Structure 1
Amino acid sequence: MSVETASEDDNNDPNASPLKHFGREVQLSRERWGKSRAELGKEANCGYSLVAKIETGERVPPRSFAEACDRTFPHSDGRFERLWALVIRYAYPPWFRPYVALEQKANLVRMFNPTLLPGLVQTRAYAEAVLRTGRPTNLQDLVTVRLDRQHILTREEDPARLWLVMNEEALRNSVGDAAVMRAQLNHLRDIAETPRHRVQIVPASKRNVLVVSPFGMLSFVDDADVVHVDGFPRGYVLADPEDVAQARDAYDLLTAMAAPPDETAELINSIVKDCYS
């Protein structure tokens, strides 16, 4: 996944991209209200360097930065959060934007992952380790937009429910060092113990050959389910009723194959102790 930025010829044009426009608006407001970059960084819980890079359109701002701008600059009335929504939309590659837009509207997200934990439950360190393997030049931007997708699970209004099924291999597949994996699996255990979510593990002894690639389904209050199939070099969305029915049947079989949700926390604790202590 790559983050779209302006071309080199447009580096000085504040309207060359949503990212450049956001940065210019931050700079104008900061200077208008007599704030230094260091002062804004303190308000946004970040450093001078990140503020400078956001203002020049070199870094994608996290949601918390836009919220801090609206708190800091008088009469903003949510303007920076509205601008940020456009920035984050265009931070995804064109082929992924339709899925993200659907994911943000979903009230239930069901996912199956055979070898890695999905982005919706990744910690920052785990996401960095996964994304670093592709040797991107914009690693921190990729991490920022990936972690922002998790907002659907914690938003105040109608947070989405998550039902996650994974092969046990995904928990034993070491990403980063032992500390990264401990923190990641502890985070996964917390999600598994959150009442509205479900996390199930297919034990290694079951030899899951039913599905070998990651996929997921999105459900909505007033619309039909859709399926997202992850793949290389890009994923795709399926809305045909026959495809959705086939995916739903496969997911039902996976949940039947997996250990019950109330055994997940104990299994995670056992893997942490065996592999990452």
Structure 2
Amino acid sequence: MVRQGFWLYDCLEGNIQPDELRDEAKVRQALTEAYGDATWADIDGLTRTILHDRTTPDSTYLRFFFNAIAESSDGWMVRAEWLACYDDQDPIKPGDQIAVGFDGSIRGDATGLVGCRLRDGKLFVLGIWENPRDPNNPDWEVDVLAVEAAVHRAFKTYRVQWFYGDPPYWQENLGRWALEYGDDYVYEFWTNKPTRMVQAVERFRTASMVQDLKHDGDEDLTRHILNAVTREVPQGLLITKDSPRSKKKIDLAVCAVLAFEARADAIADGRLTIKRKRVVGF
């Protein structure tokens, strides 16, 4: 029925949560609810597609198959997949071998430092400096000395095997860190070089999909990861903010990508050492 100035419509929503999209029984039931009396719908075929197709974002399924409100389909990371990588059973400890990713700013974006344990790809935040947007402090800038202290603490606390830093605004600092900690440990990684960055982003995303990486549940890291959206370039997909002036920061996501890439390069270079239990023969 249509009245002038109004549209009245009926929309059935499938009762399903993002983290239930790998549960066959729940997917089938929610599809049946969403399609209602549309008996021509191939529920079995749709169920198989949702369970096995890993190329389509879950948000697309939620919006178009279940009539549900979902995250933007151009979002980089699926919330359910990221949360599935959470691990609280094996905390990061002093002395662990780690790789580090650094993305720095001065006042606009955030500055971050993320570690990644070599033996299992577990991510954790070593530091974040984010503009509080305080109207009483419009001239806020990153505390450079605090960042320097955090980098020093990382090298002192853990066995840092590879450090990737994005140079803009911090090239002098990176050069000094390379002199202090070794130029075979600290390297520049220009995130504005699309070919290399596209490859790193893709490796990170693929690892998260199959849970080949972990994280400790840090709220800031999760927020930045889920803020990131994709931008297509000729080389593939990059991550970016949802708009140039967006207040939704993604700097820790960039740090995490660099840390995970640094881990891969450290392992490829043979820097992963595993302590083995001593076996006593009789």
TM-score normalized by structure 1? 0.29
Q: Which has the higher helix share?
A: 1
Q: Which has the higher strand share?
A: 2
Bigger RCO (CA 8 Å, 6+ sep): 2
